[in-house]
Amino acid sequence: MKQILIALTLCITLMIVSGCDSKATEESTTQAAKDKAEQIIIDDAYVLYDNEELMKQYREFNDYLLKTYDIDFRVITVSNEDDIDLYANTQFAKLQQNSRSKSGKALLLVINTLQDKVRLEVSKALEPVYTDAFVSYIERKGFVPYFRDYKIADGVYMAAELVKDRALEATEGKEFMPPMKSESIGGGAKTKSYIGVADPNAKKGAQVAAHSSDTPMDVLKKYLNVVKSHNKNPNLDIYTDATKQFFANWTVTDINQDNEVRFLQPCMNGKTIKYANDGIHAVAANEPYDKHRTCAPYFFKKENGTWKLDIATMAKTIRFNQPMQWHFDMSKRLDGEGIYYAFAFDGYTFDHNGYPFPPKGKKPNDARWGFTCGRWYHPRDAENVKKDPERYIRCGIVQVWRGSPAEVRLGLDVQDYIYGVGEGENYIDNATYIQFMDYMKHVPSGEIATVIVRPKHGKKIIRRGIAP
């Protein structure tokens, strides 16, 4: 059994996020208890569940590793004075008594926050795949950049992603060739991880200028060269202001950039640029989307007369599964700046996971929005409806054609009950059927349509989208 020991200097900061409701806390606690019972994540040092989203993604990677490669990957965090070598060996042996792997392929990551150490146990069946060179690579380029920023959960997630990538390479018959000078750290060797010590070179890189004559494709080519050269300067001129702020607070590693090159470069020749009517937003797309799921769309915004890359909005709205296929986060797809990029996906519908598909069925007669509005009224207005139906009858969405602007741009869905339209001085509260239909008909093309709905008996929400 290969034993790999990496010395850490962990400084754990416990934060209570204001505004976190008791239900969310309860769900997180329940999931932690479930993980511990199943012995997938045992977070006894309480350093992982402050980032539940990353732990959810880790569990997805974990399931994928087991189903696809029969690799059983566990994580334990502790805060004790036990010898980490003996502790890790003991825990590994216990877990293997009930191993989920049928072929003895197992990994155990142990993080001891009191001793400032982490240990990765690799079973004999995996030693030919997860070599000393691989472990040295993930140690220097994987864990360390995240631990420097106190992002322990990010480091664990990165470990799972790298384990998955290496498993894929191994099935393709590839040996691990790290893109760096690698040193074997051997069994029991230690190395300082500089946890909490800022890397003076972490955010450095030569400036890359953007010119008014640059097209979005020109900017994307410049960005490809940026990631190829491991340029981590967050203030590059080719970035939007929001993207500069995003990268200033985001941990970027050589591994992140190498992976982006690996997926972006093969897609470059197939990209076309789709421009919004506002002349300010654009999307670099590989269509049809459902046939190019490893070729993610890239967003661009014109600022000060120059096209800039909007990574900030991409990071908020786009997600990737284990095989690195992109899809939308449906809860955030139309948030903020996201509404301005929805035009590029007209003609596609989305499944519940946010994957785009060409829709089936007939196209709507309403060529503008593509929805059918049924009539409803508040039960309390039953008598008023008889006297003055135009004033009290309202709209309930009874059909939305898939791929239409109503779905893609505005996010309308069946059983959305319309309560209001417009904003500011143009807001109409309790909009009638006639008021709603008139509003949707006359919103100028390219401007924001705002609708207040109660979806499927839920709470009222605001939907915004760019009018076609």
**pTM listed for this prediction:** 0.77
CA distances from 61 to 40, 73, 159, 163, 332 (A): 12, 9, 10, 9, 22
93, two tokens: 């042996």
- DSSP string covering 348-373: -EE-TT--EE---SPPPS-SSS-EEE
Distance of alpha carbon 60 from alpha carbon 167, whole angstroms? 16
- C-alpha to C-alpha distance for 282 and 143, rounded to whole angstroms: 35
Distances in whole angstroms, Cα of residue 455 to Cα of each of 402, 412, 452, 462: 17, 9, 10, 10
The three-state (H, E, C) secondary structure of 262-329, written as one string: HHHHHHHHHCEEEECCCCCEEEEECCCHHHCCCCCCEEEEEECCEEEECHHHHHHHEEECCCCCEEEC
At residue 434, does pLDDT exceed 60?
Answer: yes
For the chain, which domains are there?
A: 2-171 (3.10.310.50), 216-357 (no CATH), 371-466 (2.30.42.10)
Rg (CA), the chain: 26
**Using one digit for the tens of pLDDT, what is the confidence trace for 82-124?**
988 899 899 999 888 888 999 999 999 888 888 878 788 889 9
Cis peptide before 297 (omega within 30 of 0): no
Give tens-digit pLDDT for 150-192.
788 888 888 888 888 889 889 888 877 666 443 433 333 334 4
What would the mean pLDDT of 65-94 be, rounded to a whole number? 91
When pLDDT is averaged across residues 371-395 and rounded to a whole number, the result is: 87
Between 313 and 19, where is the model more confident? 313
pLDDT in tens, 241-268: 999 999 998 888 888 898 899 999 999 9
Between strands 371-376 and 394-400, the pairing is antiparallel
Cβ(372)–Cβ(395) under 8 Å?
Answer: no
The answer on pLDDT for 194 being more than 70 is no
- Which residue reads 């994928």 in tokens? 64
